[in-house]
Amino acid sequence: MSKSDAIIEDLSVGIDTSGLEAHLEESTPALGSLAARIAERRREIDNATTELFDVPKYADVFRLELRRLPLKRLVAIAQSVERIHDDALRALYSMADTILAATVAFHEVRDDGSTRPAPGLTWQQLAHAYDPNLDESVQPRVALLRIIGDAELTLLFQDYQTWLRNGSPRAEKELERDFPRTP
């Protein structure tokens, strides 16, 4: 037994903790169910490494699979656009670069609403399909903005942020149910 274990044991002599857990459950009955829900949410978040997102204007054509980006990558994206003096353009480029970095794959939406992966497809190829005057050597950011547009990119980015914050787009509704907004 280490010296610190011995000290803890000496301090706990004579303290009866056998009823503490039951007391906590009785005094805070919601804690048990809340703790279970928090644990379940943690498992969902840990398992949700990617998510399919509807792309504004294209929800019936393709869906975008995005992954969680580590903080270090998000900071690098923010730093890469910090010299742009126009606030709106800096925000637009930051959103575009984030979506580009998070893109895992494209999924074609079939007529019946099901999806299938479109392996190897790139933003540049989509931009060329959208506008044949663009060649496939166009920069990815330009390709993304050409296809989606700035307003729609903002909507997609907001959905992505909601997923990052809550674990899934559906979690926002659950949070609103559990924690109603005060007037």
Res. 179 pLDDT band, cuts 50 70 90: low
CB contact at 8 A, 127 and 146: yes
What whole-number distance in Å separates Cα of residue 178 and Cα of residue 183?
15
CB neighbours (10 Å) of residue 134? 16
What whole-number distance in Å separates Cα of residue 179 and Cα of residue 50?
26
In this model, does residue 167 exceed pLDDT 70? Answer: no
pLDDT tens track for 32-76: 677 778 777 777 766 668 899 999 999 999 999 999 998 899 999
Assessment of whether the complete model's pTM goes beyond 0.75? no
Q: In a 3-state reduction of DSSP, which class is residue 101? A: helix
Cα angle 21-27-30, degrees, rounded to a multiple of 5: 90
Q: What percent of the chain has pLDDT over 90?
A: 52
Domain range annotation of the chain: 18-47, 49-166
114: CB partners within 8 A, 6+ apart? none
What whole-number distance in Å separates Cα of residue 65 and Cα of residue 109?
12
pLDDT at 154: 97
